[in-house]
């Protein structure tokens, strides 16, 4: 791989669907990727990582899988792909992977991930990425790829750097559509404008895909109202989103067909929902800025309850 | 029964839990009660009506049960106890029961029942009642009485009349705690202030009883906010409810313990929910009066979806 960065070591912290997919793509093309794994460790060491669906049939037979980050040691790039619900463990998991110039790229959902990591490891290391993809982990190292796949990366609180382009190139060389954004925070809000209504209503309205939400007049209007509340908070927080963003996203979603948001997939699999990152943190930022968002607040409270009841 | 009205014929239209309970109490004390029944007809003719629980063990062995209201003929009092979701059938069901002075007492939930019946049969016939009771139909004519039992009756758009007192006395003589209200519409709104949050959240928040709703800080606040929206609409519609009504009701609900609202019981039994009467109609009256009620509107839309998904 002549164009790749020499001796560039990559750690994947969190080997669920997102970690195995993007880490697996990098490993497939010969990158030096180390996966932190727990329950799946033995099976993945034996059988490797498989990615199927959406025209892909990838098998990475030999995977460098480790039970502890101390075994991995210093890396050049740490990709964080654990759910936000496991963040309490992150500081101790990441520490052994860090050298002087180690970059941390978080692929976590919602708001707050970069801030959390910056607090623990310094803002200068932190990059963030948004995954526009629909995946499901169907077994240890077994990833079903349903739709999309695009990765959007940017720097935390800075314009893109040379290193941002280097990382994007690495992904692109490994078959991942990857682009760079100048304003990562703005992109996070733009993604939330979609995730807040569609991920939320998919669960709160009874287990609906995006097509079913849009086919119900009341829910469709509620989705737009939730988008408008989110755009208003984003604008108040200094991220200028056009007010027409809601209608654009509705149109885009219509073209997606019967799409199952990740929160619905988690809910149906009885996994914990990333409620704080997607609904709680945007709501709190709005409240801190003196804004009312009654529908977002209500959705947040219902999801907290549904998540608790489901996992009781 | 010396004090009862002579030759006073009563029809019960809708022999679910409410119809069998109040009709059963009247029949138990020798009143001339005729029940309209469908699927349960044969079993009830054989085994009668049973009411159990909450210190009651009532058996009415001989029940005047009929398959058609034509068989019953003219009555002095028609008690309407079908779910609001079956209202389309009511006009043809009730017509054969009416003579010149026949009164219609509707025990249906929510808003709109008196107006609907007045439209079809004239406002002067119509009385309404609110049932503060928790019942479940466990089989044909088998009623489980969980809690409460009080009946509150009033005239539609008029002050109480001599006949209102007569009916209340009949219930009281048959062991039903029954009181009269001067302003029926106000009482309907007062009951909605409770039903809108607690019946709604019991379903939308994942199947919770009242104690579980109150134990969750976010849902408790949401319940108060929904009450405040309802009170604001009631006031705008001319029904003056004190703004402290919300806190009073929260306190009263705390004393009720783990109470399952009727909508939750219906939902768990996969029966259609009375969404239009409890949430839809109050919302539409608010909208007609130019009021915003974002939480009530959102709850309404989510319940419509949950009901549809559940019975698909």
Catalytic residues of A: 191
Are residues B191 and B171 both part of a single domain?
Answer: no
Residues A299, B298: C-beta atoms closer than 8 Å: yes
C-alpha distance from A107 to closest chain B C-alpha (Å): 29
C-alpha distance from B96 to closest chain A C-alpha (Å): 39
Q: What is the CATH number of the domain that holds A198?
A: 1.10.1040.10
The terminus-to-terminus CA distance of chain A in angstroms comes to 49
Are residues B68 and B199 both part of a single domain?
Answer: no
Are residues B144 and B237 both part of a single domain?
Answer: no
Residues B208, A305: C-beta atoms closer than 8 Å: yes
Assess if residue A2 is contained within a domain: no
Let me know if B86 is exposed, middle or buried by CB neighbors in 10 A (0-12, 13-18, 19+): middle
Are residues B174 and B191 both part of a single domain?
Answer: no
Domain endpoint, select from A130, A157, A182: A182
Range of the domain at A277: 186-311
- Look at residue B2 in the predicted model and tell me its pLDDT: 43
Residue B273 is given by DSSP the state P
Count how many domains chain B has. 2
Residues B206, A308: C-beta atoms closer than 8 Å: yes
pLDDT digits (tens, 9 = 90+) for B198-256: 999 999 999 999 999 999 999 999 999 999 999 999 999 999 998 788 888 999 999 98
The complex scores an ipTM of: 0.90
- Look at residue B283 in the predicted model and tell me its pLDDT: 98
* Contact (Cβ atoms closer than 8 angstroms) between residue B17 and residue B135: yes
pLDDT digits (tens, 9 = 90+) for B144-174: 998 888 999 999 999 999 999 999 999 999 9
Are residues B271 and B175 both part of a single domain?
Answer: no
Residue B190 to residue B240: CA distance in whole angstroms: 10
Assess if residue A4 is contained within a domain: no
Cβ neighbours of A254 (radius 10 Å): 12
Q: What is the mean pLDDT of chain A?
A: 94
Are residues A123 and A55 both part of a single domain?
Answer: yes
Residues of A in contact with B198 (CB under 8 A): none
Q: Which residue of B has its CA nearest to A311?
A: B206
Assess if residue B1 is contained within a domain: no
Assess if residue B2 is contained within a domain: no
- Look at residue B1 in the predicted model and tell me its pLDDT: 38
Are residues B146 and B205 both part of a single domain?
Answer: no
Q: Choosing among B214, B232, B287, B302, which should be mutated to test the A contact, i.e. which has the most A CBs within 10 A?
A: B302
Assess if residue B91 is contained within a domain: yes
Residue A297 to residue A304: CA distance in whole angstroms: 11
Task: Flag whether pLDDT at A2 surpasses 50.
Answer: no
Are residues A102 and A195 both part of a single domain?
Answer: no
Are residues A122 and A207 both part of a single domain?
Answer: no
Are residues B30 and B52 both part of a single domain?
Answer: yes
Q: Choosing among B298, B309, B311, which should be mutated to test the A contact, i.e. which has the most A CBs within 10 A?
A: B298
Domain endpoint, select from A182, A210, A227: A182
Domain endpoint, select from B141, B160, B182: B182
Q: What is the CATH number of the domain that holds A14?
A: 3.40.50.720
For A152-183, b where at least 16 C-beta lie within 10 A, e where not — what string? bbbbbeeebeebbeebbebbebbebebebbeb
**A115 φ/ψ angles, rounded to the nearest 5 degrees:** -60, -45
Are residues A140 and A228 both part of a single domain?
Answer: no
Number of CB pairs, chain A paired with chain B, less than 8 A apart? 71
Assess if residue B176 is contained within a domain: yes
Assess if residue B300 is contained within a domain: yes
Assess if residue B109 is contained within a domain: yes
- Positive or negative CA dihedral for A261, A267, A269, A274? positive
Nearest CB to A206: which of B208, B221, B309? B309
C-alpha distance from B7 to closest chain A C-alpha (Å): 51
Are residues B140 and B278 both part of a single domain?
Answer: no
pTM above 0.90, yes or no: yes
């Amino acid at each position: 791989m002549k164009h790749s960065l020499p001796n560039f070591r990559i750690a994947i912290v969190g080997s669920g669907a997102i970690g195995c997919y993007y880490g697996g793509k990098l490993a497939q093309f010969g990158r030096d990727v180390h996966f932190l794994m727990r329950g799946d460790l033995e099976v993945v060491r034996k059988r490797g990582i498989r990615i199927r669906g959406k025209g892909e049939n990838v098998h990475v037979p030999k995977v460098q899988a480790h039970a502890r980050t101390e075994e991995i040691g210093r890396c050049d790039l740490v990709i964080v792909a654990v759910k936000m619900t496991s963040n309490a463990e992150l500081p101790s998991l990441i520490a052994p992977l860090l050298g002087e110039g180690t970059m941390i790229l978080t692929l976590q959902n919602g708001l707050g991930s970069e801030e959390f990591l910056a607090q623990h490891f310094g803002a200068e290391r932190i990059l963030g990425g948004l995954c526009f993809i629909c995946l499901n982990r169907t077994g240890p190292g077994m990833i079903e790829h349903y739709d999309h796949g695009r990765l959007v990366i940017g720097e935390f609180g800075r314009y893109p750097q040379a290193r941002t382009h280097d990382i994007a190139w690495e992904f692109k060389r490994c078959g991942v559509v990857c682009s760079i954004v100048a304003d990562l925070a703005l992109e996070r809000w733009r993604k939330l404008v979609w995730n807040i209504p569609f991920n939320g209503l998919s669960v709160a309205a009874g287990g609906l895909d995006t097509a079913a939400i849009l086919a119900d007049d009341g829910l469709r209007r509620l989705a737009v109202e939730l988008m408008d509340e989110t755009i208003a908070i984003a604008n108040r927080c200094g991220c200028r989103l056009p007010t027409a963003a809601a209608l654009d996203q509705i149109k885009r979603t219509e073209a997606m067909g019967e799409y199952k948001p990740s929160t619905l997939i988690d809910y149906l699999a009885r996994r914990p929902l990333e409620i704080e990152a997607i609904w709680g943190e945007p709501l709190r930022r709005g409240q801190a800025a003196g804004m009312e968002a009654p529908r977002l607040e209500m959705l947040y409270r219902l999801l907290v309850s549904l998540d608790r009841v489901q996992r009781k």
